[in-house]
Structure 1
């Protein structure tokens, strides 16, 4: 295989995404050994990128640097901007910013030009280390002096670094400086600033920047809108969030599952359940299936309003989830069981518990205890005892409250012998009775005239 054919083969193998580390090493050796024509730097860059992108538990950045050192021993192959950018990216991902500076110095010494693609990984590493002022010096001073114009990625990295340091004013100043240099901030720049303003509690200012973007013809993306809508909902300004959603639609931008869930959550927390259900149905009618998180948000709100008779809707919602192939998580089940118990729908609560177990979710002690309390209140301590034994067989350790609940339930039914048997059982399991246990028995004996 000639050099040209080998380079083409390397390119195709790298694009396949199925390369292994041994194969990369083998191809690297074959490229270096090519004798009929000196290979270009491009296939080596493909191999370096393939190593960086490998998705497994072990990163291969040291391997990339080691192969680079071998490459530089070949005087016929010259690393380019892409090569150095990859090396510096590896350094910063390994938290070795100092080594990245070494590569930068080597690049500036060997290369006749400076390029922002080489500086940008270093800027990311500096900002990650909270060395934002050093990064700012490079962007605003060093790069221009070297004849290198920072690009939008350079500025976005610096804006992000300043925001993470809480230096919002400086980030805004940098944004204005960008504009003065003829470089227009993009969606990433504005979204980064909006997100930080919201985190600092400056929602009004964030909304103004969003409006500024729109007025200047830069249409926000779904991420930008979702960030602002989430903040509005958390502040209770759900109406403004709805207006924002309507504006998105009018501009042809489709909401995603996160956007809808955010709005549904905001509506539920304000008690606007009917409206939340309308949004949910609107989602479904538009072909966007809610996920478990969406349903759980609604069910949590519905179950919190059990006293108003909404828990049946929550139950319907759970079965609707199942019909759509969604698997409710354990929080969803526990929320519903709690709501059913509080409303006195004990049979339904027991059925829901059995349904939950059949789906592979084991209840916790709190859930079982809540159901045991409800069963005993309904005069069904035997059913509650069955639940206790199910807990124990499932590996859960009942506590004194569980036993006190059962003992109290049997005492109320005038079944002192059964209550006494449970007392012996709890002691045998190393669970000591407390003052509540003794008071339950004393009260029961007093009522029997003993």
Structure 2
């Protein structure tokens, strides 16, 4: 097989999705043995990329760097920008940031380091680890000093990291800085900033940025609209969210499952179940199958309305459709059953949840404890607390408050006081609800 034929064969094997680490090593050695003519760097990059995206990267990443060292020792085939991009990305995925910096230094020494593609995976990893200060120093200082001009991906990566840290002022400053450097922000840049503003509840500012984006001829995408809809629904402005959906569709942007799920959840929280069901039907008519998040939102609304039979039917329907209910789904139903006083049914659902390998969380346990306290079974509630802790689930303020209220109602004031002290010793500060649960007698005793 000639050099060109072997390169094509390697590319096809990498694209097949069936390549193993052993076969990759064999193909690598075969490529390295060819001399007349020597292969290009591209088939090696194909092999590196495939190895990085295989399962259990932590186990086989040393193989990748062993192959890379063999490649560089030949002095016939030089790694390019993409080679270093792949390997630095590998370092970040296995949390070997020190090795990533070593590779960066080598790239700078050998030439490819002047390309931002070498820096970008490092920036992405730093931002993912919340090392924003280091990422900012690289983009704003080190790259320019090394003769490497940051590209749009570099700035967008940094923008995303800054917004995730909630440093919106700095994100806005970065946008202005980009423009001052002659770089035109794209849809990703603006959408990242809009999402950051929305998460901080700054809807007016987000809308201003949206208008600025549109004025520059950039069309918002589905992610942009989702960010705005999410904050509108959280604020309870469901009508505006629906208007935004209509506007989005009029602009030719098709809603996805996340868009519908946000709106359905918003409608459910407002108690507009009929509208939520209509939205579910609309979603299905568009060829989108409701997911766990969608159904869990509807289930929560049904439980809050006290229509407890319907959530159980919905759970059965979800399972029949091949959807696996998650902790949120089960906990929602358990909480609804407990609020209706159906402790036996709630316990059955709990057992079902555990048999499926799902561990109850603090909300699940708190719902059951609340029911036990309301029925006067305080001893069982205390046993459940001990069991919960033995399973590694830490009680929260709500958990302690439920138990304190239950103990007080049983006249066990000393035990309620002890529970309060236990709560404080765990670093949890009692709130107004906790003190209300304690009652005046115990508060007076504390004072």
Query: TM-score, normalised to structure 1's length?
Result: 0.71
Q: Distance in 1 between matches of 2:369 and 2:144?
A: 68
- Could you say which residue in structure 1 is the equivalent of 2:285? 285
| Offset from partner CA, 1:387-409 (integer Å, 9 cap, x none) | xxxxxxxxxxx99659xxxxxxx
Structure 1 residue 132, shift from structure 2 partner = 3.1
| Offset from partner CA, 1:396-436 (integer Å, 9 cap, x none) | xx99659xxxxxxxxxxxxxxxxxxxxxxxxxxxxxxxx98
Q: Distance in 2 between matches of 1:9 and 1:93?
A: 28
- Could you say which residue in structure 1 is the equivalent of 2:199? 199
Trace 1:145-160 onto structure 2 (pairs within 5 A). 145-160=145-160
- Could you say which residue in structure 2 is the equivalent of 1:212? 212
SS in 1 for 2:290: coil
- Could you say which residue in structure 1 is the equivalent of 2:23? 23
| Offset from partner CA, 1:82-102 (integer Å, 9 cap, x none) | 122223223333433343333
Cα distance change, pair 362–22 in 1 and its aligned pair in 2 (3 A): closer
Query: For this pair of structures, how many residues does the alignment match?
Result: 381
- Could you say which residue in structure 1 is the equivalent of 2:42? 42
Structure 1 residue 250, shift from structure 2 partner = 1.0
Q: Distance in 1 between matches of 2:342 and 2:134?
A: 64
Structure with greater Cα Rg: 1
Residue segments in structure 2 that go unaligned for 5+ positions in a row: 382-408, 411-447
SS in 1 for 2:73: coil
Q: Distance in 1 between matches of 2:102 and 2:129?
A: 17
SS in 1 for 2:261: helix
- Which has the higher mean CA deviation after the structures are superposed, 20-29 or 210-219? 210-219
Question: Do structure 1's residue 99 and structure 2's residue 99 form an aligned pair?
Answer: yes
Cα distance change, pair 218–337 in 1 and its aligned pair in 2 (3 A): same
Structure 1 residue 153, shift from structure 2 partner = 0.6
- Could you say which residue in structure 2 is the equivalent of 1:166? 166
Trace 1:227-306 onto structure 2 (pairs within 5 A). 227-306=227-306
| Offset from partner CA, 1:219-278 (integer Å, 9 cap, x none) | 222222222212221221212211211111111222222221211111121222222222
Trace 1:7-406 onto structure 2 (pairs within 5 A). 7-56=7-56, 58-111=58-111, 114-306=114-306, 310-311=307-308, 314=311, 317=314, 321=318, 324=321, 326=323, 332=329, 401=380
Q: Distance in 1 between matches of 2:24 and 2:218?
A: 43
| Contact 1:337 1:353 (8 Å CA) reproduced | no
Cα distance change, pair 59–208 in 1 and its aligned pair in 2 (3 A): farther
Q: Distance in 2 between matches of 1:65 and 1:180?
A: 40
Q: Distance in 2 between matches of 1:162 and 1:335?
A: 34
| Contact 1:338 1:370 (8 Å CA) reproduced | no
Residue segments in structure 1 that go unaligned for 5+ positions in a row: 377-397, 403-434, 437-450
Structure 1 residue 338, shift from structure 2 partner = 6.8
Cα distance change, pair 325–104 in 1 and its aligned pair in 2 (3 A): closer
Structure 1 residue 154, shift from structure 2 partner = 0.7
